Structure 1
Amino acid sequence: MKYYSCLLAIVFSIVLIEALAQEYSNAYGKVIEYKNEQPYETVFVQPVKNNKVKNVILMIGDGMGLTQVSTAWVANHGRLNIDNFTHVGLSRTTAANRLITDSGASGTAMATGQKANYHSIGVDVDGNPLASITDLAIAKNLSTGIVVTCGITDATPATFCANNEDREMEEDIALNYLTCGVDFIFGGGRNQFIHRQDNRNLMDEMKNMGYQVESFWDKVSSIQKGKVFALLEDGQLPLYPERGDVFKDACMKAISILDQNKNGFFALLEGSRIDDCGHWNDIPKLMNEMIDFDQTIGKVLEWAEDDGNTLVVVLADHETGGLTLLDGDISDGLIKISYSTGGHSGILVPVYAYGPKSEMFDGMYENTEVFERIVKILKLK
């Protein structure tokens, strides 16, 4: 009887393992096809010969690893605006206490120059607050801006404006925006400012501090100068193309207002929802987000070429989904891909630089070097 019980247990275990393996294969080993039949036109910009930097624009594709860029390149029939970048480096993304990072730790590293613990925002490994690039830029009388497609209390934008040991403490993070001093703030996340447990209306408080507070793009688009605080959604902005061109337009609006400062500016522009699509393993939605981000890059590059004094840096905080490009056809935008995870991976991510001093982003380095090199270029220390 004991023999048959053991045999039955072994058979059951084998069946269970095979079922789990099949489930894993269905989730992550499956080959997914996608075809983009309507490629968009890309821009061409000349390298900038000037060696003086007045402005820095940091563009983060959240979750955008090299495979996301490669896949988008094939899907858009062999061309991207990213192709214009003259210098490319590689960044390691590890957190202080984990190999695989989250956006809180990686954002903190880029915003402050120090490795941080998983899930922390703008603090060191002991929980002490750190000064960010925006803090240092404001101290040097530069203008600053943040434009994102997520809620502004989400991890990446928060690392440039807040200090908290836990990225989940979004109501506390929202309070930090009252004192961060950033001139142009755009994204989603109204709930953390108006539907709060303490019943405070932080939107009204921001208005009392001199910000032009808006909830609709048509109102934001008419603003020509001054401090702007615009949250268009209670949560994140909708995915592209549902949200239309609002990310592109908000980025260019921010640049036009920040550029009025003769001392220069620093701007963070994040394609936040690339990461969400990677977590979902949803390649059509991912390609839409990559399209919007790359088209925004094209507009920014054209502006930077005309300006001549602006350094543009494009990178990711980490890769999401373990995306693999298996096959495809450049001529018709066909891609065949698979995912290996619903989380983040630990691979290096590309860093693209265009404009004066762009050669400083060549090589392989820790993500903390993004902070160090921008600070050195803008002479913020």
Structure 2
Amino acid sequence: MIKNTRLPFQRIISTGLLIIVLGCTPEKKENSSDTVSEAPLNIIFMIGDGMGLPQISTAYYFGDEMSAFSRFKHIGLQKTSSKSHRITDSAAGATAFSTGEKTYKRAIGVSTDTVARETILERLQKQGYQTGVISLTSITHATPAAFYAHVKDRDMHEEIADQLIGAKVDFIAGGGRKFFNDRSDGKNLFTELLEKDYHLDTLQLSKPVSGRSNAYILADEGLPSKIDGRKDFLKKSTSMALDYFDQNKEPFFMMIEGSYIDWGGHAENADMLISEVEDFDETLGTVLDYVETHPNTLLVVTADHETGGVSIGKHYKTDETTGHKKEVPEKVTVYFNSDQHSGELIPVFAKGKGAENFQGIYENNEIYHKMLRVLNNE
């Protein structure tokens, strides 16, 4: 009798507990919704043009402080080939990032049949995002142009500049004055920017105006390299943009290009390469500080390709008496295999919300899709 009376009692207790759990589930789910996670996500996309692992390694061998790259835990590798060439150029590489679609060499924001493809910048603009594009080259150069323009060839600078006027980018910083005010068609695009209520400066990085778009076009073509006297333009313009976006209180997408790492490879100039990586590294540190204090932000850092077939190897000193080379154990040398792009896999670093999605090995156009998936936007 005792055994028979305990079983129904146990069932009553179990049923009661089940009712309690089921009854609490909807309320728990509703209360667990996180206002931070539901808020639109900021995306900062940094591109070190021509920056492969050897270039990044220079930050550790030649830098005075610990590299900002040490602050990443989520790292992947991307494959850079375009549709037309196993060895990509910057135009096809940046277009893969911006549209999620591989295309042909020299294409800017268009498919293999030259049809315009919506970029991630344009897509997020439609959802109320602020947008920014920063480059050390002309703002019409291949990498920045791929995020707002659509032309069949990267050298169509005047048409790219014309498209920038209608692109409604909120924060613009770079070079390329001559494509705006010294044009073959006689147009002065700076006048058109002013008519669109831009705060425009063609001389210096003056303070951005909150509530208005801001454009800084500070050189006829590209800005100088670091070894030719460029100061802290990349770090300063990036900090200004971050402050500007914070004041306007809306989510943002920003692309930042460290352009001359690539040029150092083309020139086979180790000093130029090292100084440009250092400059990019310092700017990266500023961005990482921002991400750590703004947790609803995703930072992705990569390159369109590697330039120079660079390696870090032994450093030798020639004995003046014997003429023999002797290794200097405490030093290294930057070696160049060519003055062109290479096909090596390129690292992808990610930090912030959704950073874990960027681990693994994948095609370069997957970075676009991964960013949208983190936004729950695909």
Aligned partner letter, 1:352: F
Q: Distance in 2 between matches of 1:52 and 1:84?
A: 25
Aligned equivalent of 1:227, options 194, 204, 213? 213
Residue by residue, what CA displacement relative to the aligned partner does 1:223-257 show, whole Å, maximum 9, x if unpaired? 34420111000010111261211210101111111
Q: Distance in 1 between matches of 2:360 and 2:196?
A: 43
Map of 1:1-381 to 2, 5 A cutoff? 54-76=41-63, 79-218=66-205, 220-221=206-207, 223-240=209-226, 242-327=229-314, 334-381=331-378
Q: 1:132/1:356 Cα in 2 relative to 1: closer, same or farther (>3 Å)?
A: same
State the SS of the aligned residue for 1:267: strand
**1:53 and 1:311 in contact (8 A); partners too:** no
Q: Distance in 2 between matches of 1:169 and 1:202?
A: 15
**1:143 and 1:258 in contact (8 A); partners too:** yes
Residue by residue, what CA displacement relative to the aligned partner does 1:70-99 show, whole Å, maximum 9, x if unpaired? 122111268311110120000100011110
Q: Distance in 1 between matches of 2:85 and 2:95?
A: 14
Displacement of 1:135 in angstroms is 0.3
Taking every aligned residue pair, what percent have the same amino acid on both sides? 37
State the SS of the aligned residue for 1:193: helix
**2:79 and 2:344 in contact (8 A); partners too:** yes
Residue by residue, what CA displacement relative to the aligned partner does 1:132-175 show, whole Å, maximum 9, x if unpaired? 01101100001000111010110000000100110011111111
State the SS of the aligned residue for 2:96: helix
Which of 291-300 and 65-74 deviates more? 65-74
Which of 117-126 and 333-342 deviates more? 333-342
State the SS of the aligned residue for 2:44: strand
Give the TM-score normalised by structure 2: 0.84
Q: Runs of 5+ in structure 2 lacking a partner?
A: 1-35, 317-327
Residue by residue, what CA displacement relative to the aligned partner does 1:260-305 show, whole Å, maximum 9, x if unpaired? 3444111001101111111000000111101110000001111111
Aligned partner letter, 2:263: D
Q: Distance in 2 between matches of 1:332 and 1:315?
A: 31
Computing the radius of gyration over CA atoms, which structure comes out larger, 1 or 2? 2
Q: 1:212/1:356 Cα in 2 relative to 1: closer, same or farther (>3 Å)?
A: same
Aligned partner letter, 1:290: V
Displacement of 1:332 in angstroms is 9.9
State the SS of the aligned residue for 1:294: helix
Q: Distance in 2 between matches of 1:68 and 1:353?
A: 18
Give the TM-score normalised by structure 1: 0.83
**2:211 and 2:248 in contact (8 A); partners too:** no
Q: Distance in 1 between matches of 2:162 and 2:93?
A: 22
Q: Distance in 2 between matches of 1:108 and 1:57?
A: 17
Q: 1:255/1:223 Cα in 2 relative to 1: closer, same or farther (>3 Å)?
A: same
**2:41 and 2:297 in contact (8 A); partners too:** yes
Aligned partner letter, 1:358: A
Aligned partner letter, 1:162: A
Q: Distance in 2 between matches of 1:282 and 1:291?
A: 14
Displacement of 1:50 in angstroms is 7.5
**2:58 and 2:277 in contact (8 A); partners too:** no
Q: Distance in 2 between matches of 1:314 and 1:148?
A: 15
Aligned partner letter, 2:360: G
Q: Distance in 1 between matches of 2:155 and 2:173?
A: 20
Partner of 1:21: none
Q: Distance in 2 between matches of 1:324 and 1:51?
A: 44
Q: 1:364/1:51 Cα in 2 relative to 1: closer, same or farther (>3 Å)?
A: farther
**1:184 and 1:227 in contact (8 A); partners too:** yes
**1:77 and 1:332 in contact (8 A); partners too:** no
Q: Distance in 2 between matches of 1:143 and 1:228?
A: 12
Aligned partner letter, 2:341: H
Higher RCO, Cα 8 Å, sep 6+: 1
